[in-house]
Amino acid sequence: MAETQRSEQRFLPRYRTALKNRQQQENLLQFQRAWARDREAAFADQQFGELRTRLTAAKNQILDDLDGWLKRFEDAARANGVTVTHARSARDACEQVLTICQQVGARHVIKSKSMVSEEIELNHFLAAHGGTAIESDLGEWLVQLAGERPSHMVLPFIHKNRRQAADLVRQATGSAPDHSDVPAVVHRARDAIREHFWSATVGLTGANALVVEDGSVLLVTNEGNADLTVTLPQVHIVLAGIEKLIPTLADAAVQLRLLARSATAQRLTVYTTFIRRPPAHHRLHIILVDNGRRNMLADRRYRAALRCIRCGACADTCPPYQVVGGHVFGHIYSGAIGLVVTPAHHGLAADADPQSLCVSCHACQTVCPVNIPLPQQILDRRSEVVASQGMPLTLRAMIEVWKRPSAFDRAMRAAALGSGPLRKAGNWVDLPAGMSSLPMLNAQASWRSFSAPAAQPFRELFLTRGRRQSDGRFDSALSGKRIALFAQCLTDRFWPEQAAAVTDVLRALGAEIVFPERQHCCGLPALDAGDYVSAREMACQTLEVLEATGADFIVSGASSCVALLKHDLLHLFEDVPVWRHRAERMGQRIHSFTQLIAEEAGLPHGIWDNGRHELVTYHDFCQSRHVLHELDAPRSILTALLGCQVVELPEVMCCGFGGARSGLYPEVSRAIGTRKWESIRQTGALTVVTDNPGCIAHLRSMLHRQRGPERVLHLAELVAERLV
């Protein structure tokens, strides 16, 4: 617990400092936008999916028999005249480096970028023993001068600006060109770093890969500093994790195709070097570092993370990372992969707060060149944190109420009554000016309005509107089908009009709608909170209720629930075969509203076209895009059935809702939401369509506060407009 408190004390000041770092936010924003565009162009002539399947298979091959491959690599490297040793811990690795330095009488080590050396905190260790490690990568050198850690695996200095760079160079060298001339500052830094290459006896690098076939070490840089590091000093030390093996040079070629494109959107890095042997009279040591990796290998939840090639793509596409940067979103390893591997190397406490920033948008897995299930793994880490340290009290209280249908019902009815005096048109609640000026409330309420529970939940509306039969105004393949509606707990209570729209559309298509009255919550809030026990309990109740319907289809207008029922439950029930089987069967039966209309309804072109060609933009709910892969379905409904003109958003990204994250980190939620609205407004569309109630609520909450001219609709609501 003491460890946790220390961690929290460190985290919150870091978080607050990062929120004030506009330079970092601007740098990361510009980088993320350029990276997304350039990465797409860089992969235009490649089959990303095929390449990642091949590299994933190659890395899995290694992990399936790591000791065997290590033995083969060591034999090949030793045959090349290389010394290979193993280090079980960070301290062991540091001591081995120190011993080598002492053997050759070296006090100074020149380094090229090595995340493993950061992981084991080698620079501090050497300094404590009278030595000095000088970083030779420009960004790393500047970060070292600043007394900080890299904030990004590929762009270590991205959290700072040119003025800070010039100041650091001036401090280190006694002079520096004006900060406005960045190339001149860089060249001055280059001259200073060059001196260290000449004076160092020992050069230290990481490894981008270790090739088993011939025992070679792969190093890639754009600056050329790694090549100088391995060429000029007489001793070259490679610090590499044991997972860095790759079977063959042909596999390494696949890795290279993916690595440069994923990291910097280049076809190939400038210096791509394979080292088999050291130069004559030089020595090459390879230290293979475990430091928690074997524990990951033995844990099937995290084993796939050992496939990582450290490209940084998961950070480059991460919305919260753009807001807070790598010193907050991670520990020493940053980005999504950092949230997964940190406990293995630095303990769970180091991950306790950073992992809570993840909004589970799944964009990281989509761009990962080795298809690591990062969002799932981050949730697993969250569940470990919750199991060992509990969760924030407010969240705990919320889940305890939420998982009990009757308690939830009472709480919602009380909230509906209690919010009455503050309620405005459309069930919006704005806090009184006096209250929202309080700092704690200001962060939550100054930029958005809140939805109050509707006076009448959908489950009552469904009854009062009568168990109407289908009107069948439109011929469809759903005519005569019995469809069970899973409304979603929040839609039921807060936005019943969305569930009503789904119902109206399906009835108009001739379907019979049933509403299982015992339905409550699929378990997503608990899963998102890392409370797997409660999530399973809630999921079991939902499965039982939905299984009992006997309907032809089960449909939900809440794609988040559909994603959970189709995918997350398989993992949640991984060790409970009976429930996993039931979850698999449910996954086959449940449909999102979007999928049902696009794939099952069999509707003719232009059925709901009013001839106005309404200009709309479509926001892909993150999991609809990255998990359910429903990209074409909503667009085909909008264009082919409704005759809308769809303008694509310039940025594909989260809206900033992220479930409880928007309450835990309102500043992050606000920043992402603002970025989203900027993207929306670039389209010129006044109608924003999506199919997930959480996104709709978040976007509407900002829109209402801004009094913007746009409207945000569930796809079912837009279709329902065309029924009359």
Stretch that binds another protein, among 191-199, 403-411, 444-452, 541-549 (CB under 8 A): 191-199
Q: Does 416 bind another protein (CB under 8 A)?
A: no
698 and 657 Cβ atoms separated by less than 8 Å: yes
Stretch that binds another protein, among 208-216, 332-340, 584-592, 674-682 (CB under 8 A): 208-216
DSSP letter string over 349-365?
Answer: GGGTTGGGG-----HHH
CA angle 450, 455, 458 (to 5 degrees): 100
Considering only residues 214 through 273, tell me which ones interact with another protein, judged by CB under 8 A: 214, 216, 222-225, 227-228, 231-232, 249-250, 252-253, 256-257, 264, 267-273
Q: How far is the CB of 224 from another protein (least distance, A)?
A: 3
Q: Is the Cβ of residue 182 or residue 477 nearer to another protein in the bound state?
A: 182
Considering only residues 69 through 88, tell me which ones interact with another protein, judged by CB under 8 A: 80
Site string for another protein, 110-139 (x = CB under 8 A): --------------------------xxxx
Q: Does 187 bind another protein (CB under 8 A)?
A: yes
700 closest CA partner among 680, 721, 722, 720: 680
Pick from 183, 432, 439, 577: which binds another protein (CB under 8 A)? 183
DSSP letter string over 280-319?
Answer: TT-EEEEEEE-TTHHHHHH-TTTGGGGG-----HHHHT-H
Pick from 14, 29, 31, 708: which binds another protein (CB under 8 A)? 31
Q: Does 198 bind another protein (CB under 8 A)?
A: yes
What is the distance between the alpha carbons of residues 181 and 78, in angstroms, rounded to a whole number?
47
> In this structure, how many other beta carbons lie within 10 angstroms of the beta carbon of residue 14?
16
Considering only residues 268 through 297, tell me which ones interact with another protein, judged by CB under 8 A: 268-280, 282
Q: Which amino acid makes up residue 665? A: Y
Tokens standing for 714? 């569930």
Q: Is the Cβ of residue 265 or residue 490 nearer to another protein in the bound state?
A: 265
Pick from 84, 134, 165, 245: which binds another protein (CB under 8 A)? 165
554 closest CA partner among 460, 481, 450, 642: 481
Q: Is the Cβ of residue 34 or residue 128 nearer to another protein in the bound state?
A: 34
Q: How far is the CB of 184 from another protein (least distance, A)?
A: 9
634 closest CA partner among 654, 652, 618: 618
Q: How far is the CB of 386 from another protein (least distance, A)?
A: 38
Q: Does 332 bind another protein (CB under 8 A)?
A: no
Q: Does 44 bind another protein (CB under 8 A)?
A: no
Q: What is the Rg, in whole angstroms, of the alpha carbon atoms belonging to the chain?
A: 28
Pick from 55, 70, 134, 155: which binds another protein (CB under 8 A)? 155
> In this structure, how many other beta carbons lie within 10 angstroms of the beta carbon of residue 78?
13
Q: Is the Cβ of residue 197 or residue 474 nearer to another protein in the bound state?
A: 197
| Start-to-end CA span in the chain (Å) | 60
219 and 227 Cβ atoms separated by less than 8 Å: yes
DSSP state of 640: I
Pick from 42, 62, 98, 158: which binds another protein (CB under 8 A)? 158
Q: Does 491 bind another protein (CB under 8 A)?
A: no
CA angle 144, 149, 151 (to 5 degrees): 125
Q: Does 190 bind another protein (CB under 8 A)?
A: yes
DSSP state of 600: I
Q: Is the Cβ of residue 162 or residue 567 nearer to another protein in the bound state?
A: 162
- Neighbour-count burial for 502-521, b at 16+ CB within 10 Å, e otherwise: bbbbbbbbbbbbbbbeebbb
Residues that bind another protein (CB under 8 A): 27, 30-31, 34, 80, 136-139, 142, 155-158, 161-162, 165, 182-183, 185-187, 190, 193-195, 198, 213-214, 216, 222-225, 227-228, 231-232, 249-250, 252-253, 256-257, 264, 267-280, 282
